[in-house]
A and B are shown apart, each in its own frame.
Chain A
Amino acid sequence: GESVGLHLPTLSVQEGDNSIINCAYSNSASDYFIWYKQESGKGPQFIIDIRSNMDKRQGQRVTVLLNKTVKHLSLQIAATQPGDSAVYFCAEIISGNTPLVFGKGTRLSVIA
């Protein structure tokens, strides 16, 4: 089975509020994680990444948190905007020569 999964398949958020999308992974050997955003009719787009030797990384309006103890990853989006509506995937690289393994995705809907 997949080693990456998500707690919430759908998430509805009021515009301007913060969003938190969660992801659980099962492979403790994973050393690199990426969050992707997929808008309707488009391919996944990189949002932010984090290495296993970090527990937090910030980008513009986005923050990724990594908790290796419980094998949990989250994506926080500040001041969510309508343009943030999309499906969000966490993905991991399990070891040095393997491609990205994707989780099941969470659909974020922003209510104006």
Chain B
Amino acid sequence: DTAVSQTPKYLVTQMGNDKSIKCEQNLGHDTMYWYKQDSKKFLKIMFSYNNKELIINETVPNRFSPKSPDKAHLNLHINSLELGDSAVYFCASSQDPGEDTEAFFGQGTRLTVV
């Protein structure tokens, strides 16, 4: 079983569209994250959720809205997609925020906005 799974793996869409990326973890973790990886491979935190509640929002545009229906899921909805949104988006989870535990990552979703 995959620990952190996200879908879709690839997403190609036109500017202005609205899209969602889904993420699920079966590790029983309390905290989930979304990271964005740009073309230079830099990984930057976007959001952090603990027990379905938002605890960190790192200056991400309002067009990005995470939704956590339960603590095993953290979906990312993006409105009015722009060319600059093209990147690989990673979902991750960990047992507690900031504790000495590793974060487990999904395989990533490569978003291409054309």
Residues of A within 8 A of B (CB): 2, 32, 34, 36, 38, 41-46, 49, 51, 87, 89, 93, 95-102, 104-105, 107
Chain A min CB distance to B14 (Å): 24
A–B Cβ pairs within 8 angstroms, 9 of them: A2-B42, A38-B41, A43-B90, A45-B105, A51-B100, A96-B97, A99-B97, A102-B42, A104-B40
Select which of B42, B103, B107 is within 8 A of A100 by beta carbon.
Answer: B103
Interface contact B45-A100, CB-CB below 8 Å? yes
Q: Which of B4, B56, B92, B98 has the largest count of A CB atoms less than 10 A from its CB?
A: B98
Q: How far is the CA of A45 from the CA of B29 in the complex (A)?
A: 17
Give A37 Cβ to nearest chain B Cβ, in Å.
11
Contacts of A104 in B (CB 8 A): 40-42
Q: Which B residues contact A (CB, under 8 angstroms)?
A: 4, 31, 33, 35, 40-45, 48, 55-56, 90, 92, 97-100, 102-108
Bound CA–CA A99/B104 (angstroms): 12
The 9 closest A-B pairs by CB, nearest first: A43-B105, A102-B43, A46-B102, A96-B98, A97-B98, A105-B41, A99-B48, A44-B105, A99-B45
Bound complex: CA A102 to CA B107 (Å): 17
With both chains docked as a complex, state the minimum distance between the C-beta of B58 and any C-beta of chain A, in angstroms: 9
CB-CB nearest in chain B for A32: B100
Question: Is there an interface contact between A43 and B44, defined as CB atoms closer than 8 Å?
Answer: no
Q: Which residue of B lies closest to A104 (CB)?
A: B42
Specify which of B4, B90, B97 is in contact with A97 (CB 8 Å cutoff): B97
Give 15 A-B pairs besides A46-B104, A89-B43, A99-B33 with Cβ atoms closer than 8 angstroms.
A36-B105, A41-B107, A42-B107, A43-B107, A51-B100, A96-B98, A97-B55, A98-B56, A99-B31, A100-B103, A102-B42, A104-B40, A105-B42, A105-B43, A107-B41
